[in-house]
Amino acid sequence: MITENKDHIPPHKNITAALVLADGSIFWGYGVGATDTIVGEVCFNTSITGYQEILTDPSYAGQIVTFTFPHIGNVGTNDQDLESTVPAARGLIIREDITAPSNFRNRTTLQNWCTARSLVGISGIDTRRLTRRIREQGAPSGVICHSPDGTFDIPALMKQAQSWPGLEGMDLAAEVSCTETYQWSEKRWTLENGYQNNDTPKAHIVAVDYGVKRNILRCLATVGARITVVPATATAEDILALNPDGIFLSNGPGDPAATGEYAIPVIRKLLDSNIPMFGICLGYQMLALAIGAKTSKMHQGHRGANHPVMDFNTNKVEITSMNHGFMVDKDSLPDSARISHISLFDQTLCGFELKDKPVFSVQHHPEASPGPQDSHYLFDRFMELIAKHA
Ligand SMILES: NC(=O)CC[C@H](N)C(=O)O
């Protein structure tokens, strides 16, 4: 492992990758995956499992993920733990070299999988040091350059990192959304049966895809929904014409405030229909904007699988999976909304419900993938709300 420096010359001849931050810091390491140069916001995730799900979560579009857990890649990759097929994380930063996979579900190494997906990574990085720096100074823009012959144009890489505009004000949801409407009936994976379909649906949910994770759709199918997934640009009329019993607003990448042109007016119209509605993460943030609340960029964000959240409906604490860099400002919630969930790490707002409409939403990821399953009850809560309003 080589610690960061500002010297433009690689410290030895085996170096095949560089991570260059906008402030000029250089971290040298070893290339993983595709031979390319990528730019994005450098964030960190503290989960100890689920790197494949994290890297395929469309909410990470525009981001480079630093894994704080040192052993990434040691269970290989498979075809089942994918959260999407659309572009998601741009790159990965890891501590240890990827070792030979050891898991009965493995199909191919993380190294080959990254190459096949055009994902660029760097290993050999002091991820503790990098994470401390993000905690102290916020998530920086950065570039990973994977160069097998060990040549790097550091000033050009620095310039590329500095000229990247950052996620604030950036709309990425429309880029990762599906373009055609489709049906979904697959339920959550089990060791005994793999993926099974829900063939006896109890309700029809229209899910608006701002970058939806497959496990959210699977959780909805598991609690009994038939799901129609529509593109982020679907109008309220398109959605209502499908005759939904419930409407779901998905997670997704980028700045929620940047979706104001297309998503917010649609959500406002949908609220008028009084159809039960549930939002997760970006969907929650956009719902908040639609009722007049405000969102802002967080200093370092929440990304991990051990975030404690309090549910005020039951006064129970749930350990949750999180992945967000923006938040809804608690004080900006209008009187029409009631706080339902709060982060016990930093007291930020994690959920609200509307007082006079069958609408609720959460900032965390109840579908997990990866992470603890404590929050699965929220999908049941949605189905109960739908049954009550049928
Ligand atoms: N997982 C998500 O939906 C993330 C929402 C939003 N892009 C954020 O970073 O806060």
Would you say 155 and 124 are in contact if contact means Cβ atoms under 8 Å apart?
no
Residues with CB under 6 A from ligand 1: 59, 251-254, 281-282, 323-326
pLDDT (tens digit per residue) in 253-296: 999 999 988 999 999 999 999 999 999 999 999 999 999 999 99
Is 365 assigned a catalytic role? yes
Of the residues 146, 324, 341, 365, only one is catalytic, namely 365
pLDDT of 5: 63
Angle between helices 377-388 and 214-222 (to 10 degrees): 60
Of the residues 83, 281, 353, 364, only one is catalytic, namely 281
Rounded CA-CA distance 32/9 in Å is 20
Instruction: Return the residue whose CA atom lies nearest to atom 5 of ligand 1.
Output: 282
Does 326 appear as a known binding residue?
A: yes
pLDDT (tens digit per residue) in 38-83: 999 999 999 999 999 999 999 999 999 999 999 999 999 999 999 9
Cα–ligand 1 centroid distance for 99 (angstroms) = 31
Is 367 assigned a catalytic role? yes
Q: Domains (ranges, CATH) in the chain? A: 17-163 (3.50.30.20), 173-388 (3.40.50.880)
Give buried/exposed letters for 107-118 (b at 16+ CB in 10 A, else e): eebbbebbbebe
Closest CA to 207 of 225, 193, 195, 189: 225
Instruction: Return the residue whose CA atom lies nearest to atom 3 of ligand 1.
Output: 251
Would you say 211 and 253 are in contact if contact means Cβ atoms under 8 Å apart?
yes
pLDDT of 66: 98
